[in-house]
Structure 1
Amino acid sequence: MPRPHPRVAGSSVCIPWRVGAAAGSARRRRCCSSCARSSSCRPLARDAGGEVTVCSAAQHDRIVAVLSALPLAFASALALAGAETVDGNLAALSGPGFADSTRLALTAPDLGSAMLVANAPNVRAALERARAILDELDRAIAAGDGAALNAILERAAQARRRLS
């Protein structure tokens, strides 16, 4: 199976794949690297509209588990839940939010499974954390606790605003 991210001498290197106006976003993609030659990577990343942030391989793997593998897992789970719930034409009944949220389920299965398995301990920890948050939501919904739901959703909105 192919590795989702290249390794250089045991260090992680993230290649910026979504940068600048070419990707329809003014936000710059950050590239994580603990490559000893990161000074040679910086000009390449800048030329591509990104920036290099140095981190350890362990930090990289934890970050990638949350920012790449977890969205793939959630998109896949949501696509399957939708398909299993809707009897008939899922596309006719779903809106852009569902389509946007499930886009990553279109990832090539061999690449997706390689990404999930290659970083399994960190992916499993990310899934455990997400599961705890889903359980928190479930408990608040079951209790009809609007205040708790509002607090969770506000925390999520604040986290999302930090992306902008």
Structure 2
Amino acid sequence: MSAAAPRALPGPVLVIGCGLIGTSIGLALRAHEVDVLLADAEPGNVEAAASRGAGRPATDHVEPYLVVAAVPPTAAADVVVQALRRWPAAYVTDVTSVKAGLQREIDAHPGAERFAGGHPMAGSERSGPMAGSAQLFEGRPWAVTPGSATLPEALDAVVDMALHVGAVPIILEAAAHDRAVALVSHVPQVMSTLTAARLNDAQGNHLALAGPGLRDTTRIAGSDSALWIDILGTNAADVRAVLELVRADLDRVIDALGQDDAVIGDVLESGRRGTEQIPGKHGSAPARVDIVHVQVADRPGELSRLMTDTGQSGVNIEDLRLDHDLGRPVGLAEIAVALGVGDSLVDALTARGWTAYR
């Protein structure tokens, strides 16, 4: 499903769980003036989320239009079932990253027709209500996984909420969703973690050689371990299936190192082709880009000045990343622009005093 202008979302929306995702949902909905109620097993989380403007503490006498169970996977079924029982007129969704098992549990209870599962493909290595952001879901996919008995009105309620927070709803069957996230989210988390774990054995000043590639590869390894134990355990079969394929590829590489460059080349080329399958911005087809490197002094206002100068050059930025050189008072910005315009951006920035190159 492609993004569209959201219809009016009746309130209130009750968010149960005021961590990163729940607080971010509240903040994004409040930006559209949707009435948001907040609940959490830890009163301090409600207080923190409310203080940030994510909504108001829930009260017993208010009947929600939509309930969002923003809780860990192992708690989701109980919270959803309780919500369906307590508010018989409300639609209910969740935000967990594994759907098939949850859907089977919900189907066994009355009110399952008012439930449509959800999973925002957005997050952060940070956690808790203070990490929440109204922009967390902007342009990101939001999987919506209705069950066989889900009412069209329940599906519409979840899709409308996703649109309100700036996400792109994508409707999937629950089992297909779980296979997809094993490939694009859960196994990458495992691979990042395994790579980062090897750094514990680094000797002497070896880590002084670390560059942006290592930081990119290991960034998500800093995520909440307890949450990932839940996720990997809940989606164990699909994750195992992908990891077994990765293990076979790894064995091929190990056996071929120093022995068969053709095999190594085949693995590397397969990986390069794989990166070309990742959708571009706004979910568009992958696009080839030019990368322009720019040295940025590590002082206030420099990055803003670079963005202004780039904009004045008439070149649209497709993507941007910033890395700092070890031991140098400068950073290195990598600006991705449309294929064929990189040289003109280099010329424009050089004329404005920047050190820029392809």
Interval of TM-score (by shorter of Structure 1 and Structure 2):
0.7 to 0.9
The separation in 2 between residues aligned to 1:49 and 1:150, in whole angstroms, is: 41
Contact 1:83 1:90 in 2 (8 A): no
Q: Offset at 1:31?
A: 1.9
Name whichever of 148-157 and 73-82 sits farther off: 148-157
3-state DSSP class of the match of 1:13? Answer: strand
Structure 2 distance, partners of 1:158, 1:39, is 37
Please identify, of 47-56 and 6-15, the stretch whose mean Cα deviation from structure 2 is larger: 6-15
Secondary structure of the 2:73 match is coil
> Mind listing any 5+ residue stretches in structure 1 that lack a counterpart?
none
**Residue in structure 2 matching 1:30, options 137, 141, 155:** 141
Which is richer in strand?
A: 2
Flag structure 2 segments of 5+ consecutive residues without an equivalent.
1-70, 75-95, 108-115, 124-134, 281-358
- What's the TM-score once normalised by structure 2's chain length? 0.39
Matches within 5 A, 1:6-17: 7=102, 9=106, 12-17=117-122
Where does residue 2 of structure 1 map in the other structure?
A: 72
Partner of 2:193: 76
Q: Which has the higher contact order (CA 8 A, sep 6+)?
A: 1
Larger helix share, 1 or 2: 1
1:56-93 alpha-carbon deviations (Å, 9 max, x no partner): 21111111222221111111110111222x11356423
1:150 paired residue among 259, 265, 268: 265
Give the distance between the partners of 2:117 and 2:158, measured in 1 at CA.
12
In the TM superposition, what are the counterparts of 1:91-102 in structure 2 within 5 Å?
91-102=207-218
Partner deviation per Cα, 1:125-150 (whole Å, 9 max, x = no partner) = 121111112122223324232x3222
User: What is the DSSP-based 3-state SS (H/G/I as helix, E as strand, rest coil) of the residue aligned with 2:120?
Assistant: coil
Quote the sequence identity (%).
Answer: 28
Counterparts of 1:142 and 1:128 in 2: how far apart (Å)?
A: 24
Match of 1:121 in 2: 237
State the superposition RMSD in angstroms: 2.7
* In structure 1, distance between residues paired with 2:175 and 2:256: 34
Aligned equivalent of 1:134, options 250, 263, 286: 250
- Counterpart of 1:65 in structure 2 is 182
Relative to 1, partners in 2 of residues 1:140 and 1:39: Cα closer, same or farther, differing over 3 Å? Answer: farther
| SS, match of residue 216 in structure 2 | helix
Measure the CA separation in 2 of the matches of 1:132 and 1:107: 27
Q: Whole-Å Cα distance in 2 between the matches of residues 121 and 48 of structure 1? A: 32
CA contact (8 A) 2:117 2:144 kept: yes
Question: Within 1, Cα distance between the matches of 2:72 and 2:163?
Answer: 27
**TM-score (norm. length: structure 1):** 0.80
Look up the equivalent residue of 1:98 and give its one-letter code. Answer: L
Query: Residues 49, 150 of structure 1: CA spacing in aligned structure 2 closer, same or farther, 3 A cutoff?
Result: farther
Q: Is the 8 A contact 2:186 2:239 kept in 1?
A: yes
C-alpha offsets along residues 10-54 of structure 1, whole Å, 9 cap, x if unaligned? 564212426xxx46xx9x322222223332222332333322222
Cα gap change, 1:46 to 1:91, in 2 (>3 Å): farther
Alpha-carbon distance in structure 1 between the residues aligned to 2:117 and 2:206: 39
Partner of residue 108, structure 1: 224
- Measure the CA separation in 2 of the matches of 1:150 and 1:101: 21
Task: Tell me the CA shift for residue 106 of structure 1.
Answer: 0.7
Conserved 8 A contact 1:42-1:52: yes
Cα drift, residue 103 of structure 1: 1.1
